[in-house]
A and B are shown apart, each in its own frame.
Chain A
Amino acid sequence: MRFTRTKAVIATAGLALSLAACGNAGEDSEGVDVQADENAASSFDDGTRMKEIADAGTINVGVKFDQPGLGFNETGSDMPTGFDVDIAKILVASLGIDPDDTSKVKYVETISDNREPFLQEGKVDLVLASYSITDERRQVVGQTGPYMLTGQQLLVPEDSDAEGPEDLQGKEVCSVTGSTSLENAKAQGMKPVGFDTYSQCVDKVLDGTVEAMTTDGTILAGYAAQNEGQLKVVGDPFSEERIGVGYSKDYPEMCQWINDTLEKANEDGTWAEAFEANLGASGVETPDFPELDPCE
């Protein structure tokens, strides 16, 4: 008797949880809807990494989990959302894998520090995690694109008078420990303060400990949209970041496939659609598709 009761309690709790999960998923299932390319496997040459992945039918993709609008995973959800994730879906679909089937596509959280190691060790096949293309990174991993251009801006409280780095000289400005944004803030004459995640910086701006936080404008726009009426993005971009796709240096053939797929997504309008769905709401106009770096 007692066991039945325990089971009933567990079942009820489970039901409640699954209902709650449904509620979450239903709320904001925006983003693009891409269909897997049925004949993908046959379109790649034998021996290429794309063929291998397409034949295996599974892929691991590294994305960010804490950047609304780019790569964001709601607690308890196994399907992240955002512009980076949608571009990842376009690439995955072109390999003939259903990008929404999380048993085949594993979206792994990558943070700024582990993107290169994860690619080198083969823990992920692709990285789309607001991954700026730099010469140093190209020494150890493959990077192509860019599929988006962005620049560093400032996120300040709604009632702040600051309009750019010149108004925050010698003031503490928050960003993620070890990030390029932190270095740029220092170069601009602001005092860098490093935390573990962007959301912790948002907290520090909201509670008034720091006057501003800084990183790529697209990331800030996502937070501004999340905290409408409390935070705003100000200033002209004071750096240029070229956001690209990371892949392993062991498979240089992936570069051309990524470029071709991105180019196709631009031509058929899915790229612009993904941009509008994820970043359009924060008042950013859809830019022109950036010029891709040629593959070697």
Chain B
Amino acid sequence: MDAVIESLPDVFKAFGYTVLLFLVSGTLSLIGGTLLVAMRVGPIAILNKAGAAYVTLVRNTPLLAVFFFFSFAAPRIGINFRWVDVHIGTFDFTSFFSTAVVALTLYTSTFVCEALRSGVNAVPLGQAEAARAIGLPFGGVMSQVVLPQAFRASVPPVASALIALLKNTSVAAVFGVIEATSQMKSLTNNNADERWGIFLAFAIGYVVLVELVSLAAGTLERRWRIA
């Protein structure tokens, strides 16, 4: 544990990167997942198929492979994020952070999409029919009637997808982002005699973060419960 305490500022900064990766890709995944679910349940056949094909392709690919693609294959065909160069305080957001965000977002969107789709399926068909009957277009039916109820119904599965995302950020450790897992590897490498304590400290760090996400999800679930 001494090693962790000695380099506490570095440890906090590393967990900072973990949280930032989670917040940025989490927000983008929620948006992406919502768009995907709209495509999948919408009336346009081509979007329907495209949405289903995307989910099938990306959800069935290991996250590591998605990372590999954007780190080593995509630059070869001209897709790279070298133009990203933002520095806020001591945090740097360059191509490596962006690559991680893109990979995590594309991957997690599919899980969010499927979680939301379970929520959409939970909304009785009569709701959509009634909304259509009063003259709402598809956009109106979705945004005013179906999705608000679907979001409420799918808080637990979406929270699961986000918790998985939080832990998946650790993959970025070997793709250029000095986040918590990467920092842990530095510490275990330099302090071979303190491995247990270091593992434990970082495990606790992750547990605390995940617990915060589950608490937030629990609160939302209670507040959004339909009376």
Write the residues of chain A forming the contact surface with B, with a CB cutoff of 8 angstroms: 112-113, 116, 134, 136-137, 139-141, 172, 174, 177-180, 182-183, 191-196, 200, 203-204, 207-209
A140 with B192: CB separation less than 8 A? yes
Instruction: List CB contacts (< 8 Å) of B165-193 with chain A.
Output: 173-178, 182, 184-186, 188-193
Q: Give the CA-CA distance A292 to B184 in the complex, in Å.
A: 32
Interface contacts (Cβ under 8 Å), in number, total 67
* Known contacts A209-B75, A209-B95; A177/B173 CB under 8 A: yes
Do B176 and A112 touch (CB < 8 A)?
no
Some 20 contacts from A to B, beta carbons below 8 A apart, are: A113-B185, A113-B188, A113-B189, A116-B192, A136-B190, A136-B193, A139-B192, A139-B193, A141-B192, A172-B176, A178-B184, A183-B190, A191-B92, A194-B173, A194-B182, A195-B175, A209-B75, A209-B80, A209-B82, A209-B96
A203, B72: Cα distance in complex, Å: 8
Q: Is B94 an interface residue (CB 8 A)?
A: yes
Contact flag A179-B178 (CB < 8 Å), given A200-B72, A209-B75, A209-B95: no
A183 touching B75, Cβ below 8 Å: no
Are B75 and A207 neighbours in the complex by a CB distance under 8 Å? yes
A137–B80 CA distance with the chains assembled, in angstroms: 39
Q: B residues within 8 A CB of A203?
A: 72
How would you classify the secondary structure of chain A's contact residues: helix, strand, loop or mixed?
mixed
Chain A residues with CB below 8 A from B186, complex form: 177-179, 182-183
Binding site for A on B (CB under 8 A): 71-72, 75-76, 80, 82, 92, 94-96, 173-178, 182, 184-186, 188-193
Task: List A contacts of B185 (CB < 8 A).
Answer: 113, 177-178, 194
Q: Which of B71, B174, B177, B193 contacts A140 (CB under 8 A)?
A: B193
State how many angstroms separate the Cβ of A206 from the closest Cβ of chain B.
Answer: 10
A176 to B121, CA, bound (A): 46
Q: Which residues of B contact A204 (CB under 8 A)?
A: 176
Whether B178 contacts A136 by the Cβ 8 Å rule is no
| B72 nearest in chain A by CB position | A203
Give bound CA distance, A113 to B185, whole Å. 8
With A194-B174, A195-B174 given, can you name 13 additional A-B contacts, CB distance below 8 Å? A134-B190, A136-B192, A136-B193, A140-B193, A141-B192, A178-B185, A179-B189, A191-B92, A192-B178, A194-B185, A196-B174, A200-B72, A207-B76
Contacts of A207 in B (CB 8 A): 75-76, 80
CB of A136 within 8 A of CB of B80, answer no
Nearest CB on A from B75, distance (A) = 5
Chain A residues within an 8 Å CB radius of B184 = 178
Assembly CA distance A203 to B68 (angstroms): 12
- Across the interface, which residues of A come within 8 angstroms of B176, CB to CB? 172, 174, 193-195, 204
Q: Are B92 and A178 in contact (CB under 8 A)?
A: no
5 nearest CB pairs, A to B = A178-B185, A139-B193, A196-B174, A193-B176, A178-B189
Assembled-state Cα–Cα distance A177/B72 (Å): 17
Residues on the A chain within 8 Å of B76, using CB: 207
Q: How far is the CB of B164 from chain A (nearest CB, A)?
A: 21
Most A-side CB within 10 Å, residue of B72, B80, B193: B193
Name which residue of chain A comes closest to B186, CB basis: A178
- Complex alpha-carbon distance, A36 and B177, angstroms: 47
- Measured between alpha carbons, how far is A113 from B198 in the docked complex, in Å? 14
Rounded to whole angstroms, the CA-CA distance of A209 and B75 in the bound complex is 9
Residues in A whose Cβ lies below 8 Å from that of B174? 177, 194-196
Residues from chain B with a CB closer than 8 A to the CB of A140 are 192-193
Cα–Cα distance between A191 and B72 once the two chains are bound (Å): 20
B177 CB contacts on chain A under 8 angstroms: 194
Given contacts A193-B176, A194-B178, contact A178 B188 (CB under 8 A): yes
Contacts of A194 in B (CB 8 A): 173-174, 176-178, 182, 185
- Residue numbers in A under 8 Å from B71 (CB-CB): 200
B96 pairs with A193, CB closer than 8 A: yes
Which residues of B have CB within 8 Å of A134?
190
Q: Chain B: which residue is nearest A208 at the CB level?
A: B82
| CA A60 to CA B188, docked complex, whole Å | 24
Closest to A182 in B: B186
